[in-house]
A and B are shown apart, each in its own frame.
Chain A
Amino acid sequence: MLIARLFVAAAVTLGSVSLADAKTLRWASQGDALTLDPHSQNEGPTSAMNAHVYEPLISRDPSLAKVPALAVSWKPIEPDTWEFKLRPGVRFSDGTPFSAADVVFSYNRALAPSSDFRAYISSIKEVKAVDGLTVHIVTDGPNPILPDYTTSILIMSKVWSEKHNVTKPQSFKDKEETFAVRNAMGTGPYVVKQRDPDVKTVMEKNPTYWGAANFPGYPDELVYTPIKEPATRVAALISGQVDFVLDAPLQDIARIKQTPGLKTEETAQVRTIFLGLDMGSAELKYSDVKGKNPFADPRVRQAMYQAIDINAIKAKVMRNFAAPAGLVTAPGVHGYTKELDQRLKYDVAAARKLMADAGYPTGFAVTLDCPNDRYNNDEQICQAVTGMLAQIGIKVDLQARSKTLHFPKLQKKDSSFYLLGWGVPTLDSHYVFTFLYQTNDAAKKVGGWNYTGYSNPRMDALTDSILKEIDPVKRDQMIAEAWALAVADMPYLPLHHQLIVWSMSDKVTIPIFANDSPNFKYATIK
């Protein structure tokens, strides 16, 4: 047909997109960084993007071990003081030299009320510049894991920030957008060349980067495009329009692996998915059991645990991209051990007996609150759990909601039974205990995500001591005791550790990070 021929001819004459430079890495993921201001949003993709321009004192290598970045060494000099020796000869990408004054400035900025990193470093009392290349950080008591927290605090230039009037992180009280939202200038491997939020971000090699010699062959240019629609993201990778996709949907991984010229990298993510049970209330808010709380009975919790066939969830729901968990923390976190991470056996008969012993031979009804856009296949996990619990007579009314509704509901303590996932940015067990297991206490600012009503004085005391204990052997003993307690008391039913899969062209090598934050200075392009 003439029309079809015309259409083809017109399409041919439209010409071609010029092929990208060999040393350009084009990548995509679901959501863009929210801002380039390094202290304004404590959110994964935002921090990952900003860490290419700004650097912390200590950074993490692909195995998540701490490696020197702007600090070359660090040690405690008093129980409550850490000394950081800074890297000499570093310059910001605008040419100004980096010094202790920038560190003091940046930490004070990260401690400002409008900073989203305040909670991270709330133990810091003072940051002092001793000389041009030495900084002392004083905390309100001993803090053995302060170096872990510094990996999240990115360093800005004091001069640049003052010049552009961005000495405080963007706040919602500000009427206008601040300069730092779309502009960035740091010591890192890249400089921002173009920033169109939600559309395209282009970064170029920073010519003055101190570490250029340590990372041979990293890409000259990064072109980032957020692609919201999963199918489009995969299509872009398969058709060769991007070289790297951070978050391909699990059901498409097999297809990607089969495609010539593409490969995947996978690792266990530092994030564990589990179910929380309101075991503290006198009566469950969303249940047909009145006058008492079935979840307060350890036999009921254990029965529910043993009724969940985690291998079926792993195979059918997660397409094997999950590792069954017995512990509410993932490998890679300090304090995790393989021995502790063992599940109770899946045994429906034993579970039925436990239910009968507890006085619920015919079960009961309860509502399960579940997010549907937060974790990998979260709603399907809840659907599977609903079916499995029916085997022991527990009639689950599943309520799946968007994360914008799910989390506020939890925070109002308005749930009897819920699904939650927990990542550990500090890679230390203390972070898990203080948020999930310590008694929920707003005044003490602990137990902020413990919506189970679980409260064990021994656990509270251990968590407080782990925070301050400097002696590593004693500290590890306490962590082990706390984990044993957590497993025995069972306020949560662990499900699995998420696996993450990065998909890429076989022309690029990108080491995978278990925290799901790519760092392209470790990447190379053929």
Chain B
Amino acid sequence: MLAFIVSRLLQSLAVMLAVAFLCFVLFNFVGDPVNNMVGQEASPAERAEMRRELGLEDSVAVQFARFLGNALSGNFGKSYRLARPVSDLIVERMPATLELVAVAALLALSMGIPLGVLTALRRHTVDSAALMTFSLAGVAMPTFVIGILLIYVFSVECKGWAPALGLPADWCFPSFGRGETVKLGWWNSGLVTAAGLKAIVLPAFTLSLFQMTLVLRLVRSQMLEVLRTDYIKFARARGLTNRAVHFRHALKNTLLPVITVIGLQVGGLIAFSIITETVFQWPGMGQLFIQSVQFADIPVMAAYLVMVSLIFVTINFFVDLLYAAIDPRLRLDRARLGTAGG
């Protein structure tokens, strides 16, 4: 097992290095940050001096080596745009993204699973058909369209229809931002104020819609399969109630693949929150990244991409370990390969 872990760790490290290097090669194409850093009056000599000062004149290999050296000592440099240490910026923005992702994942599970069960059990009803159509839209519609649509309905047009439905005039949702946030230590939380909770509804729903429909469809198909199996028939033959058959026996057996998928999707949620964050002006890491791209703020881009790949690599690492723990054949094969290779 140890050999297996070591080999996986080495592979993860290689992936990280490759990602970091690819980022650096790509940075050659995002342009020159210096133009954004000095006023239009700056002379060519001043620009050249600044470029030299930032080390942009060095070759990609030298820049990459310097970045690696600094990153290993935990120093990601200073943002060209905001003149602040990158690690501070990321730590400041992380709570916003993680809260958004957590709420979105929660929404995806808490709505996707019951709806999946519902559509599986009531296969030929109108609400199931409607839900399945809706889920198709959720899978197919791009995130920014969903976000803008929700803003249009629930914060712009809402001013008209909410009072008509007898809802209070201030019922409508904010179209941007995190509402009120409270500092809990270094963690800036929006989940403990009413305004903050209200502000997270639309972005979290937008972000979760894809995963929600994914879970819905997954649960539904698993459920349909399980309901056809012999042990469900036997359970029914034993005279168990529908409730016990469906939830105690059938649902439990459908959840394993769902949880695996969601685990893998959390990394995706973090990475894909970029679009949701941009649409809702959600001050998270994704937005920080987008702004950095437009400014050619290389230190922030590098740190962000390395961090996201770290999250992916870590999740995959643990999933691999889990699979290995479950399936001994895999473990043995990989271990042999690992020792042979090392």
Contact = CB atoms under 8 A, between A and B. Distances in A.
A231 B111 CA distance: 29
Given A116-B42, A181-B84, A404-B294, A227 B281 contact: yes
Contacts of B40: 42, 435, 449
Interface in A201-230: 225-229
Nearest to A173: B53
Contacts of B85: 176-177
Nearest to A440: B44
A258 interface: no
Contact of A235 (B175, B197, B291): B175
Interface stretch (A10-18, A91-99, A358-366, A510-518): A10-18
A199 B45 CA distance: 35
Interface string A403-435: 111011001000000000000000000000001
Given A35-B83, A229-B279, A241-B155, A42 B194 contact: no
A465 B99 CA distance: 62
A117 B39 contact: yes
Nearest to B88: A177
A449 to B, nearest CB: 7
Contacts, number: 179
Interface in B46-86: 46-47, 50, 53-54, 78, 80-85
Contacts of B254: none
Interface string B204-216: 0000000000000
A64 B139 CA distance: 53
A196 B174 contact: no
Contact of B78 (A16, A40, A172): A172
Interface in A1-22: 1, 3, 11-12, 14-19
Secondary structure class of chain A's binding surface, majority of residues: loop
Nearest to A116: B39
A397 interface: no
Given A404-B296, A407-B35, A442 B159 contact: no
B44 A14 contact: no
Interface string B136-178: 0000000000001001100110110000000110111111111
A377 interface: no
A246 B291 CA distance: 19
A11 B296 CA distance: 40
Interface in A257-291: none
B4 interface: no
A402 interface: yes
Nearest to A449: B40
A443 B294 CA distance: 32
Contacts of B287: 198, 228
B278 interface: yes
Contacts of B279: 229, 231-232
Contact of A34 (B82, B198, B296): B82
A131 interface: no
A317 interface: no
Nearest to A444: B43
Secondary structure class of chain B's binding surface, majority of residues: helix
Interface residues on B, range: 35 or more
A197 interface: yes
B50 A172 contact: yes
Contacts of A197: 82, 84
Interface string A56-86: 0000000000000000000000000000000
A199 B33 CA distance: 22
A249 interface: no
Nearest to B174: A241
A241 B32 contact: no
A16 B281 contact: no
27 contacts: A14-B197, A15-B198, A16-B168, A17-B198, A34-B83, A116-B39, A119-B46, A120-B39, A172-B80, A172-B83, A176-B85, A178-B83, A198-B291, A225-B281, A228-B290, A229-B279, A233-B176, A235-B152, A236-B176, A239-B158, A401-B31, A403-B31, A404-B295, A405-B29, A408-B31, A408-B32, A435-B41
Interface of B: 29-47, 50, 53-54, 78, 80-85, 88, 92, 111, 115, 127, 148, 151-152, 155-156, 158-159, 167-168, 170-179, 194-195, 197-198, 201, 278-281, 283, 287-288, 290-291, 294-296
Given A235-B151, A435-B40, 12 more contacts: A14-B201, A19-B170, A42-B38, A117-B39, A175-B78, A177-B85, A196-B283, A227-B281, A403-B36, A404-B35, A405-B29, A411-B47
